[in-house]
Structure 1
Amino acid sequence: MGFLNALAWTVIVLWLLRTMYFSVLQLTDRNPMRIAARQVMAQRTGGWWFLGSIVAALWLVFG
């Protein structure tokens, strides 16, 4: 159980760091091509990270 709890916390922390990373880059970058490419990459992977963080949070609450 300790390993799964650590894994759940890792997923949540990585999702938060990823979200903050894309937010900060979006605010600071002025190159429209890089912004567009980053938005596409964030959209392609964002759903899986969000779903993983929800599952991890549910595991920590109910597991």
Structure 2
Amino acid sequence: MDSCVSGPAITVKQEEVEKALESAKKREYKEMEPLKKIKNGELGIDFYGFRERISGLNIEYID
């Protein structure tokens, strides 16, 4: 990891360390993808699919 993030501490049984580490890496990847998209100029309304969801709800989105 490149950054130091302060957060809650957990304890993990020794036999579950690999599984916990794998889960943490997957979560970190999942959380970083939207940030990369935003930095590249993409809008959350598009990459989360909200534009399609609100199209039939009588909601006006203004860019």
TM-score bin (small chain) = 0.3 to 0.5
Q: Determine which structure has the larger helix proportion and give its number.
A: 1
Q: Compare CA radii of gyration and give the structure with the larger one.
A: 2
- What's the TM-score once normalised by structure 1's chain length? 0.42
Structure with greater contact order relative to length (CA < 8 Å, sep ≥ 6): 1
